[in-house]
Structure 1
Amino acid sequence: MSAASAAANPDPRAFRREFVDFAIRVGVLRFGEFKTKAGRLSPYFFNAGLFNDGASLGELSRFYAQAALASGIRFDLLFGPAYKGITLAAGTAMALAALGHNVPYSFNRKEAKDHGEGGNIVGAPLSGRVLVVDDVISAGTSVRESMELIRQAGAAAAGVLIAVDRQEKGQGELSATQEVGRDFGVPVAAIATLDDILATLRSRPDQKSNIENIEDYRRRYGVAA
């Protein structure tokens, strides 16, 4: 973020609540009753796959770029796990370049090619400090696969950047994001967390029932930050 934009917007976390407003506006963040992979009935649902046109993807990429810079994570390359991470890494690289930070990116194929350039990595070679860009961390499978690819290439994992951290328990007392941070010793940053979602909703008088439902859900399944 430039010095000019920082001066115009003194709250360094403001972009996180702006992202939540944006996700609600385009229908990506929804409220109601949704069954999670863990079988829980969640009062909200975030579906990054619904950022499915040029305008919304461009805006999403700008938020990812802001979050990458705000995280303080030092990185040399962006890596997008197949499949959702491919578009996210490419979009984030473009948005970072527009902010004056031109970094390479790469992504993996699900199956390695045995012709042409071969292999299962497309784009820039995996090297240096690698920031993994994905939508969310549920079971953490794609992140773990990414970490293995980075290790095999002789690069170093710098961290993980996701859109939303639900801050909720996985199978144990830790969240999936906390487990990734513990297992790989890297920071996990998010554009927004459940804290940011609640902070945004509290500024909206018409969201009282959603706030109450989310806070009740959090009391049952939430983890400490």
Structure 2
Amino acid sequence: MSSRTAALAHSFVQFAVDAGVLRFGEFKTKAGRMSPYFFNAGLFSDGAKLGRLAEFYARRLIDSGIEFDMLFGPAYKGITLAAAVAVELARQGRNVPFAYNRKEAKDHGEGGVLVGAPVRGRVLIIDDVISAGTSVRESIAMIEAAGATPCAVAIALDRQEKATENGTDAPYSAVQWVEQRLGLRVCAIATLADLLEYLESQSDPQLGMHFARVAAYRDRYGV
């Protein structure tokens, strides 16, 4: 990771904490684990927060060197993210089209499940996190059905923890599964490692307490 990318990641973690999107406590994950932290991108719920989030995505994508022709946002959270990032990329001089899907096909008007620009070329999928890879698999199927090529996935936070398979811990994370099994590069603004570095650098003893708990969680479930 370059120093520029690391600085961006640490700034993003600070922003997520300040915005109340990244919280500490005791939270049950989809896998049934009790996590000492929780990231809820749905709480980027006003114009200023969403605009700043889009700026982080855009800067990370530009720094990544990933070549893409358009953005795709899987329903539901990805819809807002793709639209906001497209606006921010245009503001930074890179105007790209975007599209998203409906959960249910529309049987009137233009019909179909895809909305927005025609899905063509190299398509970058934008979502908040990858928990099980289901959303990515569904997005790939829709993109390929439209005759385009999924090229990468951009997410806000990589939890860097073991995926679950048939109720047991897998030797890989959901992000690693997408990269290795589906062949798509995953570009995250920040990771669990960045979160731990942030917590360790804080002088606030309350945050220091969270560091120990998050580190213990990583030791148990991390990849």
TM-score (norm 1): 0.93
Alignment counterpart, residue 14 of structure 2, candidates 6, 21, 38: 21
Alignment counterpart, residue 198 of structure 1, candidates 172, 186, 196: 196
The 4+ residue runs of structure 1 with deviation greater than 3 A are: none
- 1:100-146, Cα deviation, whole Å (9 max, x unpaired): 11110000011111221111111111110000000111111111100
Match of 2:211 in 1: 211
Contact 2:51 2:84 in 1 (8 A): yes
TM-superposed CA distance for 1:158, in Å, is: 0.8
Distance 1:220 1:135 in 2: 24
Which runs of 5 or more structure 2 residues have no equivalent in the other structure? 165-169
Could you say what secondary structure the match of 2:4 adopts? coil
- 1:175-195, Cα deviation, whole Å (9 max, x unpaired): 011111112111011110011
1:121 aligns with 2:114: yes
Match of 1:4 in 2: none
Distance 2:197 2:91 in 1: 29
| 1:181 counterpart letter in structure 2 | E
1:189 aligns with 2:182: no
Alignment counterpart, residue 11 of structure 1, candidates 4, 11, 16: 4
Which runs of 5 or more structure 1 residues have no equivalent in the other structure? 1-9
Could you say what secondary structure the match of 2:66 adopts? coil
Distance 1:154 1:86 in 2: 20
| 1:191 counterpart letter in structure 2 | I
Query: What is the aligned residue count?
Result: 214
Distance 1:205 1:212 in 2: 14
Could you say what secondary structure the match of 2:90 adopts? helix
Greater Cα shift, 16-25 or 193-202: 193-202
| 1:211 counterpart letter in structure 2 | F
Could you say what secondary structure the match of 2:124 adopts? strand
TM-superposed CA distance for 1:205, in Å, is: 1.3
* Structure 1 residues 153-192: aligned runs within 5 Å: 153-171=146-164, 172-192=170-190
TM-score (norm 2): 0.93
- Residue identity over aligned pairs, in percent, reads 61
* Structure 1 residues 22-101: aligned runs within 5 Å: 22-101=15-94
- 1:4-34, Cα deviation, whole Å (9 max, x unpaired): xxxxxx7342111111000000100001111
